[in-house]
Structures are given as C-alpha cells and as structure tokens.
Amino acid sequence: MAIATVNPTTGETLKTFEPLTSEAVEDKITAAQTAFGTYRHTSFAQRRQWLHQAADILEATDRVAEFAQLMTLEMGKTFREGEAEVRKCAWVCRYYADQGEAFLANQFVETDAGQSWIGYQPLGIILAVMPWNFPFWQVFRFAAPALMAGNVGLLKHASNVPQCALAIEEILGQAGFPEGVFQTLLIGAAQVAAVVKDPRVQAATLTGSEPAGASLAAIAGHEIKKTVLELGGSDPFIVTDSADLEEAVATAVKARMINNGQSCIAAKRFIVTPGIADAFEEQFLATLQALKVGDPLAEGTDMGPLATADIRAQLQQQVAAAVAEGAQLCLGGAPLTDQPGYFYPPTLLKDLPPDRPIAQAEFFGPVALLFRVPDLDAAIALANQIPFGLGASAWTTVPQVRDRLIQELEAGCVFINGMVKSDPRLPFGGIKRSGYGRELGIQGIHEFVNIKTVWVK
C-alpha cells in the first residue's frame, strides 16, 4: 500500500510520500538509542512539564481545528469527532503527566531483607504500530505513558494517515521532548519485521487487525520481545426488558455509528429480549434512517465516508454474505454511488443465523446486526459465541441481572447502561482473539517497564 493521503470524501490523492530506505530507518533507530541513553535519566518533573506542554499545543483553539481537519482529510471522520479526539489526546497527556510518577514509585515490601522493593524502570525503544481509525488518539494513548516512564518511541502509523503521523512527531518536538525521543517511521508493512528484529528495539505494541497482530506477535515471539496487542472486536449490546428504552436506543445508534462505524469497540451485535424487542427495533431503525451522511467537514453531518475503497468493498461483501446466509436487510445495504468518495449508508440486518461463519466476523463499518433471543441466558450465550472479547455493553435496571452480566460476559470491559469507550483512568484491552495486555490506567504504564525486584541485606 502506498504511503499517501487520499481524501476519502472525494477519492483524490492529496499527497504521497516515499517510504524510508533501510539506511534511513537505521539512522532513526540509532538516534532513538542515543536519545534513550540521556532521556531515561530525566526527572519525572521534566517529563511532566513536556507532557503538559504537548497538551497545551493540542488544546490551542487553532491547533484543535488544524488537527481535526487533518484527520478528516486523511481518513474521513467528521470534523466534530476529530475535535473531540484532539481534546482527548490532551487529556491523556495531562493524566500521565500528573499520575505517572506515583504509578512508577517504588513499592516497598516487608521480607527477610533489610529493605526490599519493586522498582519500575524504562525498557528503551518501543515500536508502536498504529491504525488509521483514531489516528491521533491511538498514538497518544501509547506515547503519553511510554514517554512518562522514560522510554522512547518509534511510530509506524497506517499508510493512509502519514500527515497525522508527522504532525504528532512535530507536536512532541515542539513540546520540548529531546530529538530522537519520539520519531515517525514512514515505512510500509513489509519493513516492520526488520525493525522488530533490531536488538535495540525492546518491545512493540500494535492496534489493528488480527492478521497484523498475529504477524507482529510471531516475529516478536521469535525474538523474545514483549508485545501488547489490541485487535478486532464484535461487541455485543444487550438490551433486556428492564432497560431504559429511549436511552438504550440513542446510545445504540451512537455506539454503532461513531467514527463512521469504524471502531474496534463499536457495538456491532444488538441482542434484545422479548419484552422490549419490537419497540427497540422500531426506534433503532427510525433513528438510523434519520442520520445524515455526507461531507464530514460540513456542519450537521452525522457520518462521513469509509476510510478507503477497499474497506467499503469488503464491507459490501460481508453484507451480501450475511443476506445470502439468511439475514433480513432492513435498511441500507449498498454503497452510495451518487457522489464521489467511499460512502456507505447506515445498514441494519436482522435475524442472521448466529451459527453461520459470517456471524463470527467483525463488520468494520456502519452495519448493525440485530438478534432476538428468548431470555437472558440466551443473550449471554450469544454475546459470548464469537472469537472476540474486547468490550460489551448491557442494559438493565435489575441488580441481579446486572451482576450476572458483569460476571458472565467474556470481554476485557463491560459497561452497564453506557457505551463502551476508552478512558485514561481505566485499563483498556481485550481477551480471546481481541488481543492481550492493557493500555491506559496504571496497568498501561506498567506494560513497558522493567518491573524490578530489589533485595538489600
């Protein structure tokens, strides 16, 4: 895949980049290793200052608009959602600036030693392989804890958001982080293996598809290097008879269509019990029909285009396969061809037999799957009947039902009466084929440090 900005609203190629040569990649790794030798000894106070300065840059009114527009031009999210993403990046910078030192403080433990404690020390160069769908947030939620811990970062961003990648490197440089501490590698996927294998690179994190995660993990496993993977999801959204219907419907639409439907933690399978099923389907369908699809830079647009032509084509193949396997098409179901760009409408499929292979797949676009089940047991069983385990949302006002859902849903996070979302204060990640390890929270900053036992007589 070429490294280029292709505006998904028009299909126009705006800017192309030549991938770095092997020699240029070597120079960047050398610069990172040199920087780490000094940066690891900087104080928490200094790192805190630099992270707050990065947040200041992100929150400046003119820069918020600049970065939001850049995201819209490269991957098609609405300008409004881009603005929110930029501000969330500032939040994660401030969060780790303020909490990082406490998260990494020595933990003293009483043993037979005179003194013993657990220390947390940086590892060195961490490679981040990041996706296009949240091109700023995915990077900053890695960079903020990694840099606060004293590591240095190399970013291999998705090839369709190169200008976002370069902008993030520029922001961190302007904030004061020394040269070489955070660098973007404009390289293709085929060049990643050599970076992972480089002995100076200590660990890697990847957010993306299952095949990409499996490939990176295999290479890192051979090299015996730590990885964190955040992969796909087909999150259930369970609506029980006791749910607040209006709030559940409004949240369901947002949870499915956020980011033009392109989110790993988007609700994708809507599972409803008998007493609320008819009303939920009617209101859900009506709300989806009312969404405005169009120019993501325009005021009032609810959904922009998909990020690439290939993504749209794959989504259409999945919808066709679902219909062929018995799903009923209630809304949408075909690309919008009356305008340029990669637009796909809100789509609702219902009654897809859950034992069909397509029911196990992740639909990475604005397609909702609606399932009716006879009771709570069946709802939980269907929710868990997939290879993924990223997040789950469930709606009830009955404490006993709530407790069952929390205990029995197989996911890295469960949200009761709310939309699944990432939050700097809480760990984020999945189980099963959704990956392993955690980002964010205290757990996230501990993923890429040497957790060192110290025993002193």
Q: What is the mean pLDDT of each run of 10 residues along the chain (457 residues)?
A: 94 98 98 98 98 98 97 98 98 98 98 98 98 98 99 98 98 98 98 98 98 98 98 98 98 98 98 98 98 97 98 98 98 95 98 96 98 98 98 98 98 98 98 98 98 98
- Cβ burial 125-158 (10 Å sphere, 16+ → b, else e): bbbbbbbbbbbbbbbbbbbbbbbbbbbbbbbbbb
Helix (H) or strand (E) holding 277, with range, is helix 274-289
CATH of 235-423, one of 3.40.309.10, 3.90.1150.10, 3.40.220.10, 3.40.50.261: 3.40.309.10
Q: Other C-beta atoms within 10 Å of 80: how many?
A: 16
Q: Where in the chain is the domain with CATH 3.40.605.10?
A: 3-231+434-456
Cross-strand partners of 272: 239, 372
In the chain, CATH 3.40.309.10 covers 235-423
Other CB atoms within 10 A of residue 226 CB: 14
Q: Tokens 């292979």 label which residue?
A: 357
Which of 81, 85, 230, 447 is labelled catalytic? 230
Catalytic, out of 89, 93, 264, 413: 264
Tokens found for residue 222: 């051979």
Q: How many other CB atoms are there within 10 angstroms of residue 263's CB atom? A: 21
Considering the segment(s) 3-231+434-456 as one domain, its CATH architecture is: 3-Layer(aba) Sandwich (3.40)
Active site residue 230: yes
Greatest alpha-carbon span in the chain? 76
C-alpha angle with apex 123: 117 to 124, nearest 5 degrees?
Answer: 150
Q: Residue 32: which of 123, 99, 165 has the closest Cα?
A: 123
pLDDT of res. 140: 99
Q: Which amino acid is at 85?
A: E
Q: Is 18 one of the catalytic residues?
A: no
d(CA 403, CA 61): 43
